[in-house]
Amino acid sequence: MSRATIIACTNQKGGTGKTTTCENLGIGLANEGKKVLLVDADPQASLTIALGFDRPDRLPVTLSGLLERTAAEEEISAGEGILHHAEGIDLVPSDISLSGLEVSLVNEMSRETVLRRYLGTVKRKYDFILIDGMPSLGMLTINTLAAADKVIVPVQAQYLPAKGLEQLLHTVSRVKHQINPGLKIGGVLLTMTDSRTNLSREISTLIRDTYGGKIKVFDTEIPRSVRAAEISSEGVSIFRHDPNGKVAEAYRSLTKEVLAQAAREKRRKLEQSL
> Can you spell out the DSSP letters for the chain?
-PPPEEEEE--SSSSSSHHHHHHHHHHHHHHTT--EEEEEE-TT-HHHHHTT---GGG-S--HHHHHHHHHTT----TTTT-EE-TTS-EEE---THHHHHHHHHTTSTTGGGHHHHHHTTTGGG-SEEEEEE-SSSSHHHHHHHHH-SEEEEEEESSHHHHHTHHHHHHHHHHHHHHT-TT-EEEEEEEEEE-TTSHHHHHHHHHHHHHHTTTS-EEEEEEE--HHHHHGGGTTS-HHHHSTTSHHHHHHHHHHHHHHHHHHHHHHHHHHHH-
More confident residue, 88 or 270: 88
CATH class of the domain defined by 5-273? alpha beta
Least confident of 50-59, 149-158, 251-260: 149-158
pLDDT of residue 1: 45
More confident residue, 161 or 15: 15
> Domain spans of the chain?
5-273
Q: Mean pLDDT of all residues in the chain?
A: 90
Q: Residue 162 — pLDDT band, cuts 50, 70, 90?
A: low
Task: Quick: pLDDT tens for 5-22.
Answer: 999 999 877 778 899 999
pLDDT of residue 159: 64
252-262: average pLDDT: 97
